[in-house]
A = this chain, B = another copy of it.
Amino acid sequence: MDFQRFDAYVDAHATEYLAKLTGLARIPSIAAEGGPAMDDAAAAVVALCAWAGVQAEQIPTEDGPPIILGRTEDGARSLLIYNHYDVQPPDPLDAWTTPPFEPAVRAGVLYGRGVADNKGNLVARLAAARAYRETLGPLPLRLLFVLEGEEEVGSPHLASFAEAHADLLRGMDGCIWESGYKDEADRQTISLGLKGVLSLELHVRTAASDAHSGNGGLYPNAAWRLVEALSTLRAPDGQVTVDGFLDRVRPPTDREMAMLARIPFDAAAIQRSLGMSGFLGGLTGIAALRRLIFEPTCTINGILGGYTGPGSKTVIPARAMAKLDLRLAPDQTPEIALELVRAHLTRRGFTDVSVIESEGGLMPARSDPGAAIVRAAVAALAEVHGEEPIVFPSAAGSGPMYQLCQAYGIPAVLCGVGWANSRTHAPDESIRVADFVEGIKAMGRIYGRFAQAE
């Protein structure tokens, strides 16, 4: 195919595409807050679909914003596209250089809440469909857009949506997932999976009320019990030590390990930039990458108990609490992980420690590096950017990929318009305008190449 006309058209319409994005980014569609902004954003997304020639309908959810289901009808092959129109809360507001919902371009960078996560990608994928039609003719494949409004609050309705549309999903040949980023050296990166996650709270109660610490040698102490329970869950080198937890972890294939070897990874530079003295267990190089990409984790997100104000208070806390997340690798599941943690603690006598799942868990998801959609994405990004993208067998983060893709046999690829300073979930979230335009060009090529791939 001749993408010269396509590219020229995209360049000529860059201002229009940017205006579509800033229009959407102006809507404060904060899923955690809900309210009329969610409806406004949903309506704006439906209008963008119409503009792009995508037939869209709002699928209502029971008590949340609608999922937008967009379709095109031409072509034999089918591509699922997943994005979300909701955003993270913008706090702390005073850390933003310009207001989060007043998108502003400075030195070629567009700042605003949601421009990277995930409205920039959503608009780029629709803009690519429109530009394709305007320059190359009818789309060569069927597209199915699933654009939800609750990704930042754990996608509570996506699984039931997927189940209700199982027949539609089973017909999909591949998926372009949410987002992707260029790295510090400006290399394109794509990922072929996500870890699962289980969010837990551990609550300890040892007495009716706090007691005087003179009795500390005799009375149970909730903070000590919590420390003792936690210290059995993970080794200091970062390995999860929950009984049976690692048994289900699928080891990386030779091909996946070979992919790792091609990933540039400067452990010392990361440590320097984050002000840390080293990685857990002294890991470096490929061993560190293997931990990051393939292995499950157990992380204390927060811990609280007893007196934590100024000065000292000689008290034995009766209650203590920790929040944890466990990242899961294929073939772990949140349900089994939860049962393993509970059984592990019960087996060690921690009957005074309650284990509560604090949010719906997510399954791990990983796609075959040989899948057609992977090959199409790699080739498209290489052509636009001038060098091969770096392919991560999986990202270290999590998302609802399994319930929409792997559960229906759909291989999925994460790629998108972000850069190393996108600061998603943080103040001054941004994308570079040039990356946004390049991302539209890349998506057009993905549509073309995936339609033709064997």
Contact = CB atoms under 8 A, between A and B. Distances in A.
A320 interface: yes
A314 B88 CA distance: 13
Nearest to A228: B236
A258 interface: no
Contacts of A359: 311-312
A229 to B, nearest CB: 9
A292 interface: yes
Interface in A208-256: 208-209, 211-221, 223-224, 226-228, 230-231, 234, 236, 238
Given A303-B320, A313-B302, A195 B214 contact: yes
A102 to B, nearest CB: 26
Contact of A213 (B215, B236, B301): B301
A397 interface: yes
Report the interface size class on chain A.
35 or more
Given A219-B274, A220-B277, A313 B300 contact: no
Contacts of A323: 306-308, 312-313
A119 to B, nearest CB: 20
A57 interface: no
Contacts of A211: 274
Nearest to A222: B300
A197 B302 CA distance: 29
Contacts of A299: 213, 216, 221, 224, 314, 316
Instruction: Tell which of A197, A217, A302, A304 has the most Cβ of chain B within 10 Å.
Output: A217
A220 to B, nearest CB: 5
A104 to B, nearest CB: 25
A16 B396 CA distance: 76
A280 B288 CA distance: 40
Contacts of A234: 224
Given A216-B299, A228-B236, A308 B321 contact: yes
Interface in A394-412: 395-398
A342 interface: no
A358 interface: yes
Instruction: Tell which of A199, A317, A323, A359 has the most Cβ of chain B within 10 Å.
Output: A323
A295 interface: yes
A340 to B, nearest CB: 17
Task: Please give the count of copies of this chain that the complex contains.
Answer: 2
A213 to B, nearest CB: 4
A305 B305 contact: no
A275 B207 contact: yes
A213 B308 CA distance: 24
A182 interface: no
Instruction: Tell which of A199, A226, A234, A300 has the most Cβ of chain B within 10 Å.
Output: A300
A327 interface: yes
A395 to B, nearest CB: 7
Contacts of A159: none
B199 A312 contact: yes
Contact of A216 (B213, B317, B325): B325
A283 interface: yes
A368 interface: no
A279 interface: yes
A206 interface: yes
A109 interface: no
Contacts of A108: none
A315 interface: yes
Given A217-B291, A227-B227, 4 more contacts: A195-B214, A216-B299, A216-B325, A220-B280
17 contacts: A199-B314, A207-B274, A213-B327, A214-B397, A216-B238, A216-B299, A220-B278, A220-B280, A223-B303, A224-B234, A227-B230, A227-B231, A228-B231, A300-B305, A301-B306, A303-B303, A303-B308
